Amino acid sequence: MDRRECILQSLAAGAGLCTGSLLLSGFTEKSSRPHPFSNEEIEQLKQQKEFIQNWLQDLLDSMDEELDLPTKVKHIEGCGRGCFNRFKFKQDIATKGTDNLENLIEAYKRNFEIWKDGDIVHIRYGETSAQCYCPAANYRKSQSNDLHCECTRTTHQTIFETALGRPFKVDILESLRRGGKTCHFAVHVD
């Protein structure tokens, strides 16, 4: 699965099956059939999308007001593990790398830039990225210490831990949502 397919699948998962079908039928180049939804259905889907976006913003605002940073990170980490569990291509990376770091790195190469430098494995979303690849994050204002990046960090951590059967520390070196030009993670494999 390439990055475009990943984005389209993420959009489908993030906004529900109907909204995903709408997006997939509207954005795939292979689709030549007329749009399967009426204007009323499209408007209803837009309203549902707006509701979900607002609900998510309210939840995150409430977390910011009520919870300390470690608790917020812990909750967001649950989302990162859930993302791993929802997307087969992420599970496939872990499966192809089972018990072998070099195989894991090879499996990652289909979707990410990845390289090993000493005891650190770098995972990067290209030298530059046009946007965050998570549909849950794209409708929210970025912040200098954006909590959402902990979700992606945890997804990569989960891939490594699932594949290699032990805990790993993963650092966020750079992210779009925190003002960087791409997303770049460092996995400590020592």
The band of 186, judged by pLDDT with boundaries at 50, 70 and 90, is very high
> pLDDT tens across 139-155, in order?
888 888 899 999 999 99
CA angle 117, 166, 115 (to 5 degrees): 20
The H or E element that residue 108 is part of is: helix 101-108
List the domain range (segments joined by +) for residue 129: 3-188
| C-alpha closest to that of 187 among 92, 80, 105, 77 | 105
Q: Do 85 and 162 contact (CB within 8 A), yes or no?
A: no
Domain count across the chain: 1
pLDDT in tens, 43-81: 999 999 999 999 998 999 999 999 999 999 999 999 999
pTM of the predicted structure, to 2 decimals: 0.78
For residue 168, give the CATH number of its domain.
3.30.1380
Joined tokens for residue 147: 């909590």
